[in-house]
Amino acid sequence: MAAVVLVPVKSFGEAKLRLAPALPADERAALARTMAAKVLAAAAPLATWVVCDDDEVADWARRHGASVLLRPGRGLNGAVADGVDHLAGEGFAQVIVAHADLPLATTLGWLADFDGVTLVPDRHDDGTNVACVPAGAGFTWAYGAGSFARHRAEAQRLGLALRVERDVPLGWDVDVPADLTVLQR
C-alpha cells in the first residue's frame, strides 16, 4: 500500500486552551471538531487514521470514516510515533502526519509524491504542521516549539531526501487568538 494519513487529535474538551481569552470552552471544542473534520476531508481519498487518547474523539473519528488508534498517556510525540509504527506494520509505505488544526486544508495526498521526507512548516517556520515520511524509516518525532528545525535535522540524520513545502493553506494553524483571523475572512 502506498500512503496513509495519520491525524493526531486531542480531546475536544482540552483542545485549544490558548484560545481561552477569545473563545469559551464550548466554542473551542466546536472549533476543534470543525477543523479536525476539515483535515479528515482533506485526506480523501487516502486511508485515514486518527491517533488519540480520548474515547469521545475515537467515536467521532469512526463516525467520520477514520480508523482509530487509542494511545492514552503517550503525548503527541509518542502517539505519532506509535501511529507511524503501526501503519508501517499495516504495510503502508508513507505516512502523512497532519495536525487537526488546519482550517484551510483542502488536500493532503500530493505530499506523498516524493520518496523522502516532506515537511510543511507553519507560517512562522517554527512548527511542523504536516510531515510525510517513509513509514519504516525510524523517524524520531519532536513536536513543540522549534519542531520544524528538529524535523529537518532528523531527515538529514537519517540520510533521507528532504523537501520543504511552504504551502499557505497547510501552513496556517490555529493556536492563539490572533490565528482566528483566518476564520473571519
pLDDT at position 184 is 66
Give the pLDDT confidence of 6-43 residue by residue, as tens digits.
999 999 999 898 988 889 999 999 999 999 999 999 99
Mean pLDDT of the residues in the chain: 95
Across the chain, which distance is largest between two alpha carbons, in Å?
45
pLDDT tops 90 at residue 182: no
Give the pLDDT confidence of 138-151 residue by residue, as tens digits.
999 999 999 999 99
Q: How many domains is the chain built from?
A: 1
Give the pLDDT confidence of 108-156 residue by residue, as tens digits.
999 999 999 999 999 999 999 999 999 999 999 999 999 999 999 999 9
pLDDT at position 1 is 63
pLDDT at position 70 is 95
Alpha helices of the chain — where are they, by DSSP H? 25-43, 55-63, 75-89, 147-157, 168-171
| pTM reported for the whole predicted model | 0.95
Residue numbers of the domain that contains 149: 3-184
- 176 pLDDT band, cuts 50/70/90, is confident
Q: Do you find a cis peptide bond into 45, omega within 30 degrees of 0?
A: yes
pLDDT tops 60 at residue 185: no
| Cα–Cα distance for residue pair 135/73, rounded to 1 Å | 23
pLDDT at position 177 is 86
| Cα–Cα distance for residue pair 84/141, rounded to 1 Å | 10
pLDDT at position 35 is 96
**Angle between the 55-63 and 25-43 helix axes, to the nearest 10 degrees?**
40
Question: What CATH number does residue 148 fall under?
Answer: 3.90.550.10
